[in-house]
Chains A and B, each alone.
Chain A
Amino acid sequence: QSVLTQPPSVSGAPGQRVTISCTGSNSNIAAGYDVHWYQQLPGTAPKLLIYGNFNRPSGVPGRFSGSRSGATASLAITGLQAEDEADYYCQSYDRSPNGHYVFGTGTKVSVL
Chain B
Amino acid sequence: QMQLQLWGAGLLKPSETLSLTCAVSGGSFGGYYWSWVRQAPGKGLEYIGDIKYSGSANYNPSLKSRVTISIDTSNQQFSLKLTSVTAADTAVYFCPRQVPSPTGLPYLDYWGQGALVTVSS
- A residues neighboring B (CB under 8 Å): 2, 33-36, 38, 45-48, 51-53, 55, 57, 89, 91-93, 97-98, 100-106
Interface residues of B in 94-116 (CB under 8 A from A): 94, 96, 101-105, 107-109, 111-114
Contact B101 A91 (CB under 8 A): no
Interface size class of B (residues with CB under 8 A): 20 to 34
The contact of A89 among B44, B60, B96, B113, by CB within 8 Å, is B44
Contact B45 A34 (CB under 8 A): no
- A48 vs B99: C-alpha distance when bound (angstroms): 11
Check A45/B47 contact, CB under 8 A, given A34-B103, A52-B102, A52-B104: no
Check A102/B47 contact, CB under 8 A, given A45-B94, A45-B112, A97-B61: yes
Contact B105 A52 (CB under 8 A): yes
Other 8 A-B pairs with CB < 8 A, given A51-B103, A91-B107, A100-B61: A34-B103, A34-B104, A34-B105, A36-B107, A46-B96, A52-B101, A100-B47, A103-B46
Mask of B49-77 contacts with A, CB within 8 angstroms, 1/0: 01000000011110010000000000000
Chain A residues closer than 8 Å to B107, beta-carbon distance: 34, 36, 48, 51-52, 91
